[in-house]
Amino acid sequence: MLESRNIVKKFLNKTAVDGISVKLSPGRVYAMLGPNGSGKTTWMKMAAGLIKPTSGEMLYEGTPVGIESRKHITYMSTEPYFYTWMTAGDAGRYYADFFEDFHMDSYLSLLERMELRPEMKTRSLSSGMMAKMKIAVTLARDARVYLLDEPFNGIDLLARDEIRQTILERAGEDKTMMLSSHLVEEMEAIADTALFIKDGRLAEEADLEALRTERGLSMADRYREIYGHTEVRA
């Protein structure tokens, strides 16, 4: 479905992604893990077609990502990106104007579950509320691929449960979900595959239940093994 082939992204003075090859299958929930600056965000932005790779390829259904793939891939960035004049409702209408797979009714009900109202100004949302709004607008698309960069950041415990639940509601046999987070524990039960990214490379692709069955290791345990104790963030 989504595949990166030896993809590289170099910025002026550093290599953010250094040759990642990975093929994502439908019906799976991936957890993309790695410390800050390991290349997760850059990889996702290349998949979303926002950043052009220095070399290598990012393919959706066999063709390089671009205008066509944006119709089927929905991406949520870590940072807020709405126009400052927008209310939550405006943001929904914007998505409705540009994405055929956006469902306003499901957006409105997601907003309600996240305890947000359409007339709230995006500019004056707290960071937690903004995080929830980004989730709502991204998940209200009935896309094939969901790329969620740090969906649990800045969100309190109860809302995290709600977000996990909405992510699971969207997951399906024909859909690929990709989540990145520092909050490894939040993803233990909902992900089935972990992609450990280290220094811009794919250190390991692990089936989580196999990891538990064969080695008695949780995703967090394996994270500690790969990155060493010092870099673990709870």
Partner 1 sequence: MKNLMKYEFRKTLFTKLMVLGLTAMAQIAFLIGLYGDNERVLAAGVVLLTLLAFGGITVIGLASVVILHRDMNTKQSYMLFMTPNSSYKILGAKMLENGLSILLCGAFFFALGALDITLLFGRQGLLNELWNTLREMLQTIDSRITLDYPTMLALTANILATWISTVSCAYLGVVISTALFSGRRWSGFVSFLIILALLWLTGFIQLKGTAPIEAVRTVFLVDAAIAMGLSAVMYLVTVQIMERKLSV
Partner 2 sequence: MDFEPNRPIWLQVMNALETDIVTGRRPPGDKLPGGRELALHYSINPNTAARVYQELEKAGLCETRRGLGTYVTEDQTRIRALRMELAQNAARDFLNRMETLGLSPAEISALLWKQEE
Tokens, residue 134: 């980004």
How many angstroms separate the Cα of 147 from the Cα of each of 79, 121, 193?
Answer: 14, 25, 14
Report what 221 binds from partner 1, partner 2, none; CB cut-off 5-8 Å by kind. Answer: partner 2
Report what 50 binds from partner 2, partner 1, none; CB cut-off 5-8 Å by kind. Answer: partner 1
In sequence order, the β-bridge partners of residue 198 are: 201
Tokens, residue 30: 């991936």
If binding is defined by CB under 8 A, does position 178 make contact with partner 2? Answer: no
CA geometry: angle at 63 spanning 59 and 64, to 5°? 55
**Residues whose CB falls within 8 Å of the CB of residue 94, separated by 6 or more in sequence, listed in order:** 86
Minimum distance, C-beta of residue 215 to partner 2, in the bound complex (Å):
9
Identity at 63, one-letter amino acid code: T
Give the interface segment with partner 2, choosing from 16-24, 53-61, 97-105, 219-227 (CB under 8 A). Answer: 219-227
- Residue 37 contacts residue 43 (beta carbons within 8 Å): no
Candidates 92, 98, 90, 4; CA nearest to 48 is 4
Which listed residue (34, 39, 49, 151) binds partner 1 by CB under 8 A? 49
Minimum distance, C-beta of residue 42 to partner 1, in the bound complex (Å):
10
Length of the chain: 234
3-state secondary structure of 150: coil
The residue count for binding partner 2 (CB under 8 A) is: 25
Candidates 34, 38, 17; CA nearest to 232 is 34
Report what 48 binds from partner 2, partner 1, none; CB cut-off 5-8 Å by kind. Answer: partner 1
Give the interface segment with partner 2, choosing from 15-23, 42-50, 119-127, 207-215 (CB under 8 A). Answer: 207-215
Tokens, residue 188: 């233990």
If binding is defined by CB under 8 A, does position 168 make contact with partner 2? Answer: yes
If binding is defined by CB under 8 A, does position 163 make contact with partner 2? Answer: no
Contacting residues toward partner 2, per CB under 8 A: 27-29, 161, 164-165, 168-169, 171-172, 185, 188-192, 209, 212-213, 216-221
Contacting residues toward partner 1, per CB under 8 A: 11-12, 45, 48-52, 67-68, 70-71, 75, 77, 79-83, 85, 94, 97-99
